[in-house]
Structure 1
Amino acid sequence: MSTLFRSTAVAAALFAGALSMATSAIAQDKVIAHAQGETTISGVPEKVLVQDWAAFDNLSALGVTVAGIPGSNAPGYLAPSIPADAAKIGSLQEPDFEGIAALEADLYIVGARSRNAYETAKEIAPTVDLSVDNGAIIDGLKTNLTKLGDIFGKQDKAAELIANVDAKVAEVKAAAEGKGTALVVVTNAGKLGVYGPDSRVSWLYNEVGMPSALAAVNDGDHGGDAVTFEFLLETNPDWVFVVDRDAGVGNEGGAKALLDNELFNQTTAAKEGNIVYVDPQAAYITMNGYSAVMLLLDQVLAGLNG
């Protein structure tokens, strides 16, 4: 074999290898559709930043390590999963764009509270918005698990988690059948509100199927639809599920003291002991995170079966 032939053969092999690698790299590019458009992600992201605790919750459940997290409102139930060396990249509502840029992330995730950061963030790093419609939290959770499973090549794990959610919802739905009406009461700075079928805990009505004690609720983002104790007694739900927003945002909780009230104690729920205090951070901060939803479903199930 001539030297020229050998050189040509080697060159051809090198070119073919380079072409194969380039083709493989292109094949790994993924176009991810999300709440604010589409984002192209090259390969499997290694350095991931999140401005949303529900996104952190879902990534943790999938076994994905996160390099940057919000510097505020960390839910206690997630504490064991939070890396000690994770960078703090601003609050839930106000990202630290300089810090985010310095980290040179492969993927940056925003959610409902940080979604306004998207237009700026997408110029810094590949960014996706995993905001979820409050009226369809379970569907939103499953969609996000599927999306993250595709991004990180963890489709099987995502499918396993989704199956867990479906099974738990079915279990709670069966326990709730025939148990009567429900009302989600939120306490906020000494005031009362109620959450309905478009709220942070909408799954109680929409998926679990407990009928609301109220025909209509004007759901609010924070304290719910404002009500009085007289109104609660008139509405008279069979079950009350309580979200202590003060405790949810890191302040001193006061729901139990507030509800220890002569009027409230006359409701069917109070007289029958059908009052369930759910994890306030799971219900208010990470309401569409995997562990949050599973924790809340378990608490509702324990209350119904109590």
Structure 2
Amino acid sequence: MILRRTAGRKVAGSVAALAAASLVLTSCSQAEDAATSATDAASSAVATTTAEVVALTVEDNYGTHTLNAPFERVAVTDNRSFEILSQWGVNIVAAPVPLVPKTLRDKINEDTVEANLGTHKEPDLEALVAADPDIVINGQRFERYQEDMQTLVGKDIPVLDFEPRDGEDLPSELIRQTLALGTIFNHEDDAQALVDDFNKALERAKAAYDPSKTIMAVNTSGGEIGYIAPGKGRFFGPFFDMLGWKPSLEVAGGTNNHEGDDISVEAIAQSNPDWIFIMDRDGAIGAKDGVLHGEALIKDNAALQNVTAVKQGNVVAAPEDTYTNENIITYTEVLNAIADAFESAK
């Protein structure tokens, strides 16, 4: 029995030794496999990362740029871009928060961005540098700081500007900007959808307009009514060319003043427009307490009560945030609203 036990122990020991050796070999093999897998995974990750980098060629107002997409840290100072990029879920790390359209402040605010760049009157460009963006979409109110921003972020960080250019057709310029943003942020289909919607709304508004009807466009600001010059004035100015509108009044020396040009309500009344279109600046930046603005400023004005547009209810206001949100989506909404109004009046 003892010999058997001893033999048994020797056999058991041998089995244990073999098992231990096998375990060691298995562990080594597993370790090697794990190391190989880790190496393969790392190689795959590098390959994937490399594959995801896409070289793009984009032309903005300053020339042609070669970009390496995707972009993860996007700074935006252009009011025409906020809604588009927000709709696409683009991560915005820096923005002039006080200038963000109020309809977007639940998405773009001091809690969602890392750097508040202030306003165009008192910009905090050092905050832009601290946000470490990999691209900057500049334009509109911040155009004057283009060179300053490029110098601060460095030549390797693109600072792009797609602001509609003077002398160019506005619809084409809005489309140019939208398609460029779609290319940069890999939302080509979404950008094309916005363009298609815009073109449809534009054609619809053109078809609905009766060319015998006269148009007056105004800007309400600080309780005052400003004249929006056909072809030149803020927002509604280009609509005269876009839709072939016949102005009820043409004032020499019209400008694109952000509050509109000076005009008396008597001059508006004498021109007797069939339609009045309003961009309410107060609606976007906040009206003073007790001050009438927008449609109320027109409809409640005693001097305008006998104007055809007021008597027939042909007064149309753009969305309240238009003054700070003049992008292709806003233009599409307004064009459709214009078409609705013209069609219902026929």
1:73 aligns with 2:113: no
Change (3 A) 1:210 1:201: same
Change (3 A) 1:235 1:172: same
1:272 aligns with 2:300: no
1:295 aligns with 2:333: yes
In 1: Cα distance, 2:107 partner to 2:335 partner: 20
1:139 aligns with 2:172: yes
What's the offset of the Cα at 1:214? Answer: 2.6
Unaligned residue ranges in structure 1 (runs of 5+): 1-16
**Alignment partner of 1:241 out of 250, 271, 277:** 277
In 2: Cα distance, 1:98 partner to 1:161 partner: 34
**Residue matched to 1:32:** 58
The amino acid that maps onto 1:208 is L
Give aligned pairs, total: 288
In 1: Cα distance, 2:237 partner to 2:91 partner: 30
The amino acid that maps onto 1:281 is D
Change (3 A) 1:179 1:137: same
SS at structure 2 position matched to 1:29: strand
In 2: Cα distance, 1:111 partner to 1:207 partner: 23
Alignment check: 8 A CA contact 1:240 1:269 kept: yes
Listed as ranges, the matches of 1:1-306 within 5 Å are: 28-82=54-108, 84-87=111-114, 88-123=116-151, 124=153, 125-133=157-165, 136-178=169-211, 180-195=213-228, 196-199=230-233, 200-216=235-251, 218-252=254-288, 254-255=292-293, 256-259=295-298, 260-282=300-322, 284-287=323-326, 289-306=327-344
1:197-216: CA deviations, max 9, x gaps? Answer: 12322342122332222345
Change (3 A) 1:298 1:76: farther
Alignment check: 8 A CA contact 1:53 1:70 kept: no
What's the offset of the Cα at 1:238? Answer: 0.6
CA RMSD of aligned residues (A): 2.9
TM-score, normalised to structure 1, is 0.83
In 1: Cα distance, 2:210 partner to 2:88 partner: 32
**Higher relative CO (CA 8 A, sep ≥ 6), structure 1 or 2?**
1
Change (3 A) 1:264 1:133: farther
SS at structure 2 position matched to 1:95: coil
Change (3 A) 1:156 1:26: closer
Unaligned residue ranges in structure 2 (runs of 5+): 1-42
Which of 1 and 2 has greater Rg?
Answer: 2
Change (3 A) 1:171 1:79: farther
**Residue matched to 2:17:** none
In 2: Cα distance, 1:128 partner to 1:94 partner: 21
The amino acid that maps onto 1:222 is H
The amino acid that maps onto 2:329 is S
In 2: Cα distance, 1:44 partner to 1:93 partner: 32
1:45-101: CA deviations, max 9, x gaps? Answer: 111010122111222244423222222133233345437422322224543221111
TM-score, normalised to structure 2, is 0.74
In 2: Cα distance, 1:63 partner to 1:179 partner: 44
In 2: Cα distance, 1:221 partner to 1:39 partner: 32
The amino acid that maps onto 1:140 is E
What's the offset of the Cα at 1:29? Answer: 3.1
